Amino acid sequence: MTGAAPSPRRPPNALRRYAPFLVVLLIAGIVVVALAVRGGNDGGDDGGRADGTASAGAGPVIFSEDNKDEIDWGPRCDTERGRVALPLVNSLPCVKPHTGDNGGATSPGVTGDAIKVVVYQGDPRQNPLQAALVRSAGADVDLETGKETALNYIRLLERYYETYGRRIDVEFFVGTGAPNDEVTARADARAIADKQPFAVLGGPGQTPVFAEELAANKILCLGGCALATPEKTLRRTAPFLWGNGPTPEQASTLTTEMIANLLAGKKARWAGSPAFRDRTRVFGAVHYDTPDGQQTEAFAFFRRSLQREGVTLAADIPFFLDIARAQENARTMIAKLKDAGVTSVIYYGDPLTPKYLTEEATAQDYFPEWIIGPNVFADTAVFGRTYDQRQWRHAFGVSLIAARGTQDTSQSRNLYIWGYGEPPPNNTYAVILGDIAPLFTGVHLAGPNLTPETFQAGLFRAPARRGTPLNPSVSRGRHGIWPGIDRGGSDDATLIWWDPEAEGESEIGNQGKGLYVFVNGGTRYRRGEWPKTDPGLFDRSKGVTIYEEIPPEDRPPRYPPPSRR
């Protein structure tokens, strides 16, 4: 860790889906992709046609150095920054304030006065075992506080971002089935489609039929509704499905590069078993899938990516998220890994399964390296503390989320306090805001002629920027970061390892032992940027667990709060 990062807390002694799960909508305090309500300053003006150019309608007039003195940008614009005056590091660029006719009913779910949006809420009663596990980790699964938090974020952003004379008309829909129930998921999507909204935020996580049914009805499906959808599906259903994080293929590319550059062909030096530490790594993978194989193709891409780098898998073990049989399934998986002589297990999946895998590994006296690959929230202290610590102390890998700050430094929390004078009522506020953010990005930068196509153009127009420790890079369209058209969200990752002795707050503010250490202060790497020498894994002097002060590049601007009438 260099001296550039201010006051980090160091580890003690000086201190739908990579796995698309209900918990994505329930756990809290984690800015998965930073906030998609931001842009940047080093990207081009990419747009919304099939070729990624900005031609889906004229679009709004966007603030630039050339026009900043020619237009009255209004009180919502910080003309020093060219950004909307919200206390976010990278709020969206200002657009010329709208006056006059907005075109009226430009698309289903859009009128001259309103944009109809449905917010899907998973009902914890439909999958009580998963909900109990999430609740036991400290997350708030209450539907009413979740609804209040979401609605207040929408109303706050609506005051600052341009909606071209339209109000966001919000309706909440509580799911009628478990997140893996295709029958109820399809029925829920059809029931929502009958309401004729423009967009849906969130959805059941363990089946793709909900999102695809909405796309078939030409309804936008945003945030957790389309989380980690494979690129083939995104292309086929364009422009209707938009997740927050990288696509599974992008996450796999980042993970493959880390493994190839830092681990392949070297000794398993961080394994728990002394015998493994003297061996050249033998890799195996356990990876989430569904009975209908919705993640089979995405993992096959990961396996092929590894093979191109000369990395073969001695064991390749898919699993389903079945909590009732999780321990039994873990017993079989661990036995297969042992029989294959695997020294280094790549984990690709949800945040619940590692609890059972690690407990079973200890029961079978098997202590490998645990390599964190593409995952949903397995890279958070909320869940890391629930794993067998004798195993997880040998865990390291990629994290798609940002480095940690204290609760007091959380942008999403502080945005809510700035708007309402008190913390959000539901501690899953960052995940809730993550679902809402793409809606305002697309609408603000689409212009008054709002359609799914111009919404896509708006997402593509949001400029790209370099990631910083507390703010991952986010972009869509053509910015030169990924080949072709990028339909994902965040673009980079950081390197982490688990310190079971580190003490501090989890992502939802619970004090306890066990935290991830962000190597080199949480430096983020895009494709082609991963280091080829170890930057500090398991070196407490080169890592940060929690930033108690925000680094200068991540400090949001300050503005007077809005009136709270």
Reported as a single tens digit per residue, the pLDDT across 276-327 is 999 999 999 999 987 777 778 889 999 999 999 999 999 999 998 888 889 9
Quote the crossing angle between the two packed helices 429-446 and 452-461, to the nearest 10°.
Answer: 100
Residue 31 domain flag: yes
Q: Does residue 445 have a pLDDT over 80?
A: yes
d(CA 386, CA 134): 11
Same domain for 99 and 212?
yes
User: Which of 122, 252, 227, 108 is CA-nearest to residue 174?
Assistant: 122
Clarify whether residues 144 and 288 are in a common domain: no
Residue 152 CB neighbours (<10 A): 17
CATH of the domain at 108: 3.40.50.2300
Of 422, 442, 461, the last residue of a domain is: 461
**DSSP summary character for residue 493:** B
What confidence category does residue 554 fall into, taking pLDDT thresholds of 50, 70 and 90? confident
On whether residue 468 sits in a domain, the answer given is no
- The pLDDT of residue 532 is 96
Q: Which of 421, 440, 461 is the last residue of a domain?
A: 461
130 contacts 182 by C-beta, under 8 angstroms: no
- Read off the DSSP letter of residue 312: -
Alpha helices in 263-347 (DSSP H): 274-277, 296-308, 326-339
Residue 130 has pLDDT above 70, yes or no: no
Same domain, 262 and 376: yes
Q: Is the pLDDT of residue 437 over 60?
A: yes
Q: Which residues of 534-548 are buried (b: 16+ CB within 10 A; e: fewer)?
A: bbbbbebebbbbbbe
* Within a domain: 299: yes
On whether both 240 and 253 belong to a single domain, the answer is no
CA distance 283 to 513: 29
Same domain, 221 and 364: no
For 57, the 3-state DSSP assignment is coil
What is the Cα 346 distance to its own chain's centre? 20
In this predicted model, what pLDDT tens digit does every residue of 219-272 receive, in sequence order?
A: 999 988 887 788 999 999 999 999 888 999 999 999 999 999 999 999 999 999
- Cα–Cα distance, 88 to 554 (Å, whole number): 9
State pTM to two decimals.
Answer: 0.84
303 and 361 share a domain?
A: yes
Tokens of 26: 């329930």
For residue 478, tell me if it sits in a domain.
no
Q: Which of 255, 306, 308 is nearest to 283 (CA)?
A: 306
Rounded CA gap, 414 and 550, in Å? 13
Please report whether residue 476 resides in a domain. no
Residue 41 included in any domain: yes
Residue 179: asked if its preceding bond is cis (omega within 30°), the reply is: no
DSSP strand pairing (77-78 vs 83-84)? antiparallel
pLDDT tens for residues 38-66?
A: 333 333 333 344 344 444 457 999 999 99
Judging by beta carbons within 10 Å of its beta carbon (0-12, 13-18, 19+), is residue 503 exposed, middle or buried? middle
- Answer whether residue 535 shows pLDDT above 50: yes
Same domain, 218 and 275: no
- Same domain membership, residue 100 and residue 182: yes
What gap in Å lies between CA 508 and CA 406, rounded to an integer?
A: 10
| Tokens 């969130």 -> residue | 202
Number of domains in the chain: 2
Q: What percent of the chain has pLDDT over 90?
A: 67
Angle between helical axes of 326-339 and 353-363 (0-180°, round to 10): 60
For residue 438, CA distances in Å to 10, 337, 379, 433 come to 34, 40, 23, 9
The tokens describing 36, both together, are 């998609």
Residue 237's φ and ψ, nearest 5 degrees, are -105, 5
Partners of 222 in the beta sheet? 201, 242
Over residues 95-121, mean pLDDT? 97
Q: Give the Cβ contact number of residue 279 at 10 Å.
A: 14
Check: CB of residue 500 under 8 Å from CB of residue 513: yes
Who has greater pLDDT, 557 or 25? 557
- Please, how many CA atoms are within 13 Å of residue 270, restricted to the half-sphere of its CB? 22
Based on the fold, state whether residues 332 and 281 are members of the same structural domain.
yes
Q: Cβ atoms within 10 A of the Cβ of 78, count?
A: 17
Q: Provide mean pLDDT across the span 153-176.
A: 97
Q: Which residue carries 């959380």 as its tokens?
A: 410
Q: Which amino acid, 276? A: F
**What DSSP designation does 419 have?**
H
Model confidence pLDDT, tens digit, residues 371-380: 999 988 899 9
> What is the total residue count of the chain?
565
Q: Which residues contact 101 (CB under 8 A, 6 or more apart)?
A: 448
- pLDDT higher than 70, residue 355: yes
Percent of the chain residues past pLDDT 70, beyond the cut: 87
CA angle, 515 as apex, 514 and 519 as ends, to 5°? 140
For residue 239, cis peptide bond before it (omega within 30 degrees of 0): yes
Q: Does residue 181 register a pLDDT over 60?
A: yes
How crowded is residue 308: how many other Cβ atoms within 10 Å of its Cβ?
10
pLDDT at 139 over 80: no
Q: Is 120's pLDDT higher than 80? A: yes
Question: Is 423 within a domain?
Answer: yes
Q: Which pair of tokens denotes residue 444? A: 């603000």
Residue 257 located in a structural domain: yes
Q: Do residues 104 and 240 share a domain?
A: yes
Q: Are residues 138 and 213 in the same domain?
A: yes
- Domain limits for position 179: 22-50+58-245+408-461
Which of 205, 561, 527 has the alpha carbon at shortest distance from 418? Answer: 561
417 burial type by CB count under 10 A (0-12 exposed, 13-18 middle, 19+ buried): middle
Mean pLDDT of 113-129: 84
What pLDDT score does 250 carry?
A: 95
Residue with tokens 């082609």: 528
Tell me: the pLDDT tens digits for 401-411?
888 888 788 88
pLDDT tens per residue, range 466-521: 888 888 888 999 999 999 999 998 999 999 999 999 999 888 778 899 999 999 99
* Cα–Cα distance for residue pair 10/520, rounded to 1 Å: 11
Report the mean per-residue pLDDT for the chain: 86
Q: Are residues 139 and 218 in the same domain?
A: yes
